[in-house]
Amino acid sequence: MSIEKLQSFLAPNYENFPKGRTIGVVVLRTTQSETIFRTEGTGEPMCRESVQAGVQNTESILRLVMTKRKQVAPERRRGREFLRNHELLYTAPKSDSPCSLNTNAPCEMCVDCFLYGFAAGGEGAQKSRIWTEDAFSVLPSTELIGDRTINAVFETGTMRDEKGNASTALKTSEYIKPGVHFLDIATLKDVTADELRYALGNLLLTTRYGAVSSRVGRMENQILGVFGGISELPSSLELVQGVYDRLIAENVALEHPLNTNALIEATQSVINTWTNKRGISMQLSSEELDALIEDIDRHWSLDEQETFLKRLDESYQPYRQIKQQSTKKGRKNK
């Protein structure tokens, strides 16, 4: 029922013009295994940023950063797996192949294209209505990174060359330890109730992040707060700094592994003050948040998934027809 509570910040139907209705979501992302946020083989270092530790604690620390792209790409892929399963990805007009990410040939018609946007294609672009920002680790990166020296494998994929000699080449590999917390803010603009269910379902159902081909990178996402308003929530950096101050005030040991319950409590006490901030109208209570998550789970369950996704897919039908007509007209006039 709590989705009704958000009604004034949701769009009744999909429409092309933004109206400033904003849902803000506070997400805790916790690594459950060793994780590497980088494209394999590129040698790019683990992403970290020097920032102020807290709002009151002004010394600077290096924090790990989970970039926007590292969050959204796996979550979109997750949703698209289900769309593909129910044959709800369309053929891209330009390439004549099924809609796919990162190929410059989006179909411009599927749920993913309408909600997360696309840039390429003939008729211009669709702006994404799911905004994310870089997420920061709560603790300094020095606590959170492990280093492992491994023997480099030969091209055969084994540790021995053709003559049977063992590999002596060493390389080191950095990874993020299990149990590392990132705090994150997601913003959903002018989404419908079903689009909200779709986007949050993707977030809750995605469990693998980082280097795709590796078997590491297990992560759990938890939603700690949902807000409605006419503007964005404070940034994820402000959140992580507020939480850092709070943990110090409560004498929580700032070392890895950090106590998750203490972290959740600190986060909740920081975000509970946000309804006083400009542009933020309401926050779901913890019972309402539980009810929202139950509602999302139900819509994604095996029994209801197909009905849910087909209903969402059909909601874009009037806009697909407008697009097709304008394409035809455009051609006639030439």
- Per CB under 5 A, 191 contacts Zn ion: no
- Per CB under 5 A, 200 contacts Zn ion: no
- Per CB under 5 A, 239 contacts Zn ion: no
Picking from 297, 243, 286, the residue whose alpha carbon sits closest to that of residue 266 is: 243
Picking from 148, 151, 150, the residue whose alpha carbon sits closest to that of residue 159 is: 151
Figure out which of the listed residues 10, 25, 110, 200 binds Zn ion, where binding follows CB under 5 A. Answer: 110
Picking from 18, 26, 23, 21, the residue whose alpha carbon sits closest to that of residue 2 is: 23
**Judged by CB, which is closer to Zn ion: 74, or 106?**
106
CB 78 within 8 A of CB 249: no
CB 82 within 8 A of CB 111: no
CB 105 within 8 A of CB 113: no
Supply the minimum distance, in Å, between the C-beta of residue 175 and Zn ion. Answer: 34
- Per CB under 5 A, 111 contacts Zn ion: no
CA distance 160 to 27: 45
- Per CB under 5 A, 99 contacts Zn ion: yes
- Per CB under 5 A, 105 contacts Zn ion: no
- Per CB under 5 A, 309 contacts Zn ion: no
Supply the minimum distance, in Å, between the C-beta of residue 304 and Zn ion. Answer: 23
**Judged by CB, which is closer to Zn ion: 61, or 110?**
110
- Per CB under 5 A, 25 contacts Zn ion: no
- Per CB under 5 A, 243 contacts Zn ion: no
Q: Which residues contact 225 (CB under 8 A, 6 or more apart)?
A: 24, 25, 26, 267, 268, 271, 283, 284, 289
CA distance 11 to 18: 10
Supply the minimum distance, in Å, between the C-beta of residue 108 and Zn ion. Answer: 6
**Judged by CB, which is closer to Zn ion: 125, or 153?**
125
DSSP conformational letter for 106: -
Long-range contacts of 69-75 (CB under 8 A, 24+ apart): 70/37, 70/209, 70/210, 71/29, 71/132, 71/135, 71/184, 71/209, 72/116, 72/130, 72/132, 73/101, 74/206, 74/208, 74/209, 75/202, 75/203, 75/206
**Judged by CB, which is closer to Zn ion: 105, or 196?**
105
**Judged by CB, which is closer to Zn ion: 90, or 154?**
90
**Judged by CB, which is closer to Zn ion: 93, or 178?**
93
Supply the minimum distance, in Å, between the C-beta of residue 118 and Zn ion. Answer: 7
- Give the alpha-carbon dihedral of 265, 267, 271, 273, to 10 degrees: 60
Tokens encoding 219: 């992560």
* Number of residues forming the site for Zn ion (CB under 5 A): 5
Figure out which of the listed residues 64, 65, 105, 113 binds Zn ion, where binding follows CB under 5 A. Answer: 113
Figure out which of the listed residues 107, 196, 239, 309 binds Zn ion, where binding follows CB under 5 A. Answer: 107
Q: Choose the stretch contacting Zn ion; rule: CB under 5 A; options: 60-68, 92-100, 184-192, 197-205.
A: 92-100
Site string for Zn ion, 45-84 (x = CB under 5 A): ----------------------------------------
Tokens encoding 43: 């040698």
- Per CB under 5 A, 23 contacts Zn ion: no
What does the binding site for Zn ion look like in residue numbers (CB under 5 A)? Answer: 99, 106-107, 110, 113
